[in-house]
Amino acid sequence: MASAQGKGGVEENPKQEQKQQDKPKEQTNGEKEKDTTKGPAAACPRHSRHPLENVWTLWYLENDRSKHWKDMLTEVAKIDSVETFWSLYYTIRPPSELKVGCDYSMFKLGIKPMWEDEANSKGGRWLISVNKNSKAELDRLWLEILLMMTARIFENSEEICGAVINIRSKNNKISVWTANGSNEAAILEIGQKLKLFLRLQSNNLQYQLHSDAMCKSNSSVKSIYTV
């Protein structure tokens, strides 16, 4: 219909043809104006990233008596955003499914999960013992500790180096490592928050110095703080 009227009115009504010619131009301009709104501000939310305050490295240690301890340690991935954290967490096996003798460690970028590392050598660790049969509890504690570290809920978050979970034949262990074993105020603040947020029983959280652990002659290491 519109085409027929346009052809029939070319000479009889030039003003009408002019309006018809102008109309599609106005629509085109309108479409262009709509297109200009499709910029970064209108990007799909699923593509946005939420960076963490610190970049972290996940390490995995698989027990192999034929290798030196350091050679059993493998860097798994770097974690720099909330999305990277959850993607990795749901990809790897939970701690409760690891074999005896294996460890997971998550430390700030540049720090290795070993006493000898310069960032760790003068520090210590808050240690939690978890019953071998408490698999759900083991996974819960590990996840909540990682979330507490990455969310920086501690007033002394700069003292946090990382965390380690050890799967052992008797009791499993989870530890949070700090940088300065002489910073009593920071150590106790971190310990109290761990106890509160993890809903731990009294005396199940003990702080040990790495220097004492390195010099130990047996399996027991004295604790300098208990909460």
The domain at 51-111+119-226 falls in which architecture? 2-Layer Sandwich (3.30)
Burial class (CB in 10 A: 0-12, 13-18, 19+), 117: middle
Domain limits, the chain: 51-111+119-226
pLDDT band at 220 (very low <50, low <70, confident <90, very high): confident
- Cβ atoms within 10 A of the Cβ of 28, count? 10
Residue for token pair 């047996």: 218
Q: Answer positive or negative: Cα dihedral of 195, 73, 215, 167.
A: positive
pLDDT at 219: 60
pLDDT at 15: 45
When mean pLDDT is compared across 36-40, 54-58, 156-160, the lowest value belongs to 36-40
Q: What is the DSSP string of 125-184?
A: EEEEEE-TT-HHHHHHHHHHHHHHHHHT-STTGGGEEEEEEE--SS-EEEEEEES-TT-H
pLDDT at 29: 46
pLDDT at 47: 61
Q: Give the pTM.
A: 0.77
DSSP state of 30: H
Burial class (CB in 10 A: 0-12, 13-18, 19+), 50: exposed
Between the ranges 67-81, 168-182, 207-221, where is the mean pLDDT highest? 168-182
If residue 77 lies in a helix (H) or strand (E), which one and from where to where? strand 73-81
Q: Given the DSSP bridges, would you call strands 73-81 and 51-61 parallel, antiparallel or unpaired? A: antiparallel
Listed in sequence order, the residues at least 6 apart from 52 whose beta carbon sits closer than 8 Å to its beta carbon are: 79, 80, 81, 82, 85, 150
6 against 164, higher pLDDT = 164
